[in-house]
Amino acid sequence: MAGQSIDHAFTATDDRSAAADPTYAGALSFMRRKYTKDVAGSDVTVWGVPFDSAVSNRPGTRFGPQALRRASAIFDNDPQYPFARDLFEALSVIDYGDCLIDYRWPERAHAIIRDEAAQILAKTGFLLTLGGDHSITYPLLQAHAARHGKLSLVQFDAHQDTWPLATDDAGALRVDHGSFVKAAVQDQLIDPATSIQIGIRTHAPETCGIDIVGGAELEEMTSAAISAKIYERTGGTKVYLSFDIDCLDAAVAPGTGTPVAGGPSSAKILAVLRHLKNLQIVGADVVEVSPPFDHADITAIAGSTVAMYLIGLRAEKAAG
């Protein structure tokens, strides 16, 4: 390591370069990517949204972006499994840091997230957001739909998030992580006919016309069959992929606000993601990692691995 510097997140001179930081030391950006607010020309921008004022059960996901970055340090710039390549040789990836949200005004958060996401999307090739509770996907969908048009939603989750919407006397929408899908359908941000939810293990009043692969059905299917169903449902359309960590079984992802037993292993869902290399994913998030309820970072490790896979899929495409 002679001649190499530590704190690659700050000292990197090239956003495609590998880091030399030990996995246990150095500034913690996502996968040691360079911290910068200059996203122009980047292939992927990683962004944290530390917001958890819309949870219905256990709070703590405001600490999710920090935990996901910390867990990603284990990816120590060897060729990443299963992609067998340095993901950054053909892909420019930067860490934009976090969205600034005033905790005293939670009702203003979604507009702040939407507007900043739109600014980032105007200059980067792809936005990968680290949450935060699942309500942040609504303003992210607003920003992505404004850029790409109506999208297909591929949602990995234990919950449908289609609960009825509520507004105040002035007509402002209540901030709620359990109704963002309902809001996205109502606002025509997503097309229910080409959208799918994977891993659902709870009931909601309606499906909004979205296809559902429930937990019991998922258990009987192979990863290839699950991915084939995703391809069939989305039909070559532009996809926004949202990964709620509670899609995974509570035994392998306890650090979340609304854990549900009976879910798949991380191995199975990562295998599904590996099959999605030809899906037209135009944006993605990993949400609902709640470190206060985690143990030995196992939930954060699972979440950061999902995020790494999403980058890996793009690296494969970039490499040809």
Please report, in range form, the residues annotated as the binding site.
Answer: 134, 157, 159, 161, 244, 246
Q: Which residues pair with 216 in a beta bridge?
A: none
Residue owning tokens 């309902």: 182
- Cα(132)–Cα(34) distance, integer angstroms: 22
How far from each other are the two terminal CA atoms of the chain, in whole angstroms?
A: 31
DSSP codes of every residue in 205-259: S--TT-EEEEHHHHHHS-HHHHHHHHHHHHTT--EEEEEEGGGS-TTT---SSS-
DSSP codes of every residue in 7-75: -HHHH-S-TTPPP---TTSS---GGGPEE-S--TT-SEEEEEE---TT-SS---GGGHHHHHHHHHTT-
- Cα(42)–Cα(103) distance, integer angstroms: 30
CB neighbours of 58 closer than 8 A, spacing ≥ 6?
Answer: 256, 257, 258, 290, 292, 293
Supply the angle between the helices 223-234 and 266-274 in degrees, to the nearest 10.
Answer: 50
Largest CA distance in the chain: 64
Q: Pick out the residues of the known binding site for Mn(2+).
A: 134, 157, 159, 161, 244, 246
Residue owning tokens 């606002």: 187
- Cα(205)–Cα(188) distance, integer angstroms: 19
